[in-house]
Amino acid sequence: MKDNPIALPPDRRELWKAAIKIPMYSVAVVPITVGSAAAFLETGKFAASQFGGVLLASLLIIAWLNLSNDAFDAETDVDKGKPESVVNLLGGNRRAVLLMSLAAFAAGAGIMAASLAPVVQADPRVGAWLAAAVACGYVYQGPPFRLSYKGLGEPLCFAAFGPLATGAFYLAQRFAASPGSAGAPVAGLLWLCSAIVGVTTSAILFCSHFHQISGDRAAGKMSPLVRLGGALGARVLNGAVAAPYMALAVATATGAAPWPLVAASAVSLPAAVFLVDFVTSSYSKPEVVRFSKLHAISWHVAFGFSLTAALVFLRFAAAMPWIAVTLPS
């Protein structure tokens, strides 16, 4: 007589690994690298100490965002069946998770303030944009706003990680290299790159909803995928993934962006194609499509670092007459 197989509970180490969400911390890194590279293109200088401080601060602020989201979700029971929730792993101790999130935020905000104090005094846009980005992070899930429950998470994500954070880090690096640049206009190329960062970051959030449609609907969380459904959501994702490449192609054709940017973006195409194919084939299978978030992160990282490399390359290419590159004015 054969023994019946016993379904073993997930290993707690694996659950903690999922709860910590290490790959998600890439969303802290990419805006800094792209913004810094755009500043390097203009100035030819890189403020390593400022970069290090801002990076550490950003990682801590993302920890605040992740932990506080778990704590706020515990209030609405939307994560009731989510074993990898930090609140659930700590036996439902929401207060402890909230305190950890506040500690991470306090440390991150303190390090950010210390790293950028001279910049903020000279160019208030830096402080204002970063404060706005943090505010987007709070109203996304925090009471009484909970705008993610109204389907506004992706626009907030786009604004926070795209123009606001990437723009602020660009201004900070530019000021460190050239203090006289305080108050000067932002380069148009930065806006293009920051919009791409915003789109790729928002795609991660969008993909995180595919396997939670029924649970979100039951909890009253009207995410875009609850409204659209999986099939239409997959088509929307296809368009969102194509949009940055189309924008770069148009910008290159019109002279608004130099050709190395669109050429470098080809590095991220395999990750883009894989993500689209994966979601298209698995959007109706929650246990499979849950991994689409990781594939979206891979695309985000590949695109972000290809933009970073292209911007750095352009600085050196401008001094190489045998490379036909014209930078937009």
pLDDT above 90 coverage of the chain, percent = 75
Domain boundaries, the chain: 23-317
> Which two three-digit tokens encode residue 155?
């626009």
188-207 vs 230-253: helix crossing angle, rounded to 10: 170
Q: What is the pLDDT of residues 8-32, one digit of tens each?
A: 356 778 888 877 888 999 999 999 9
Rounded to a whole number, what is the largest CA-CA distance in the chain?
A: 82
Of 144 and 12, which is predicted with more confidence? 144
Q: Spell out the alpha helix ranges (H) of 162-254.
A: 165-177, 188-207, 213-218, 224-228, 230-253
Q: What's the rounded Cα separation, in Å, for the pair 294 and 291?
A: 5
Q: Work out the pLDDT band at 7, boundaries 50, 70, 90.
A: very low
Q: What is the pLDDT of residues 78-110, one digit of tens each?
A: 767 677 778 888 887 889 999 999 999 999 999
**pLDDT > 70? residue 316:** yes
Of 54 and 73, which is predicted with more confidence? 54
Cβ–Cβ < 8 Å for 19, 85 = yes
Q: What integer pLDDT is reported at residue 329 of this predicted model?
A: 56
Q: What integer pLDDT is reported at residue 10 of this predicted model?
A: 60
Q: What is the pLDDT of residues 243-264, one digit of tens each?
A: 999 999 999 999 999 999 999 9
| Interacting residues of 226 by C-beta distance below 8 A, sequence separation 6+ | 151, 209, 213, 216, 217
**pLDDT > 80? residue 319:** no
| Residue 319 vs residues 313, 316, 323, 327: alpha-carbon distances, Å | 10, 6, 9, 12
CATH architecture designation of domain 23-317: Orthogonal Bundle (1.10)
Virtual CA dihedral for 78, 83, 86, 92, nearest 10 degrees?
70
Q: What's the rounded Cα separation, in Å, for the pair 182 and 123?
A: 5
188-207 vs 292-317: helix crossing angle, rounded to 10: 170
Q: What's the rounded Cα separation, in Å, for the pair 266 and 114?
A: 38
Q: What integer pLDDT is reported at residue 4 of this predicted model?
A: 44
Single pTM value for the model: 0.92
Q: What's the rounded Cα separation, in Å, for the pair 290 and 169?
A: 32
